[in-house]
């Protein structure tokens, strides 16, 4: 039995977090980690306490808006944004943290991650928006696109 690396482990956790998403287009999960300790998690979906896309349908689909564009026409809050919000609600700083996410970030999330002072972003999936790359380089945020980890759960019986 091969033990997963820390990167594989936290990417797998991000995938499990994504299962809670309420978006009809993408299920995205994010995990903020520092010193191998989970600080917060987030998934994409509507604001707390309001109806989501699973119940109301997708505005972006109804208007034929392509992925990676017109982010303002969406009920959803992105997984990375929710991870930042959850950390803030609980008084947890993300400065120096690594974000593990199922998809690469949009430019809006990249700006927020830079201001949260994260140092590394790890993903195994590509999003339609590559605008974050220049910002990450300028903000000195390491970006790692890794192979998708095996999703088999291994344990001793």
Measured CA to CA, the distance from residue 71 to residue 112 in angstroms comes to 14
Nearest CA-CA partner of 92 in 114, 111, 118, 123 = 118
Question: To which H or E segment does residue 106 belong?
Answer: none
Hey, what are 22's tokens?
Answer: 């309420």
Hey, what are 6's tokens?
Answer: 């820390």
SS3 category, 53: helix
Give the residue numbers marked as catalytic.
Answer: 80
Measured CA to CA, the distance from residue 18 to residue 144 in angstroms comes to 19
DSSP label at residue 92: -
106 in Cβ contact with 68 (< 8 Å): yes
């Amino acid at each position: 039995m091969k033990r997963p690396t820390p990167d594989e482990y936290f990417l797998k956790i991000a995938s499990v977090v994504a299962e809670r998403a309420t978006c009809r287009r993408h299920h995205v999960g994010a995990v903020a980690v520092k010193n191998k300790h989970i600080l917060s998690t987030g998934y994409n979906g509507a604001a707390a306490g309001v109806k989501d896309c699973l119940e109301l349908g997708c505005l972006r689909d109804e208007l034929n808006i392509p992925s990676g564009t017109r982010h303002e026409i969406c009920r959803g809050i992105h997984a990375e944004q929710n991870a930042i919000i959850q950390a803030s609600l609980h008084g947890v700083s993300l400065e120096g943290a690594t974000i593990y996410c199922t998809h690469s970030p949009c430019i809006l999330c990249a700006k927020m991650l830079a201001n949260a002072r994260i140092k590394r972003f790890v993903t195994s999936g590509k999003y339609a928006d590559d605008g974050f790359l220049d910002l990450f380089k300028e903000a000195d945020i390491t970006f790692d696109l890794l192979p998708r980890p095996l999703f088999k759960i291994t344990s001793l019986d």
